[in-house]
Structure 1
Amino acid sequence: MKMITLQRKAATEGGRLFSVMNAIAWLVLGIGLLLCLINISEFTDQNLGLMIGIGCLIASVQIYVVGTVVHLLQNNAKQQ
């Protein structure tokens, strides 16, 4: 009985972590888009705002992927 309770708790925490990381990924994506649109006029590697915006776009995808992997691993562990 104790093992089932621990597995349910881990699955709930994995779901919360996925939700939080999903929200953070969308927030970072929005910030990246905003920075890119504001600084698109001078498209050079010297434009710091544009480079940070592109970095945020890439980071948002990475955050989303990590959150999804954690969620899938939690679901897989719960099923076994």
Structure 2
Amino acid sequence: MSVHLQIAKQVSNHRKAQKEFLALDKKREKAIDRVLEDAKKGLHVSVHEINSITKEMNNIASTYHFPPRKEVTIDMVRDYLTKSE
């Protein structure tokens, strides 16, 4: 395989990973919004879905040198709601 084809393949893989990362980021933001809405209503909330998505994102991030995302805790949700009031 020529060097040009190898570079083209790397660029293609990088773009594919970037699209997947951005799609997961949108999915994560929606999950965060749902948790915040439930917490505002006083419902029981879980950050499991958010952190599952975060884990997928961080796996991609470590391979392609994208910025990693922090895992979310219940305390972070409570702090955000307290500050936004």
Mark the CA change 1:22 to 1:66 in structure 2 (over 3 Å): closer, same or farther: same
Return the letter of the residue paired with 2:61. Answer: Y
C-alpha contact (below 8 Å) 1:18/1:68 kept by paired residues: no
By how many angstroms is 1:7 displaced?
1.1
Q: Any unmatched runs of 5+ in structure 2?
A: 67-85
1:52 corresponds to which residue?
A: 49
By how many angstroms is 1:43 displaced?
6.5
1:37 corresponds to which residue?
A: 33
Query: Residues 5-20 of structure 1: matches in 2 within 5 Å?
Result: 6-20=2-16
- 1: distance between equivalents of 2:19 and 2:13? 10
The structure showing larger relative contact order (alpha-carbon pairs under 8 Å, at least 6 residues apart) is 1
Return the letter of the residue paired with 2:7. Answer: A
Corresponding pairs, count: 61
| Alignment counterpart, residue 63 of structure 2, candidates 66, 71, 76 | 66
RMSD: 2.3
TM-score (norm 1): 0.61
Q: Any unmatched runs of 5+ in structure 1?
A: 70-80
**CA radius of gyration, larger in:** 1
- 1: distance between equivalents of 2:11 and 2:19? 12
Percent identity over the alignment? 2
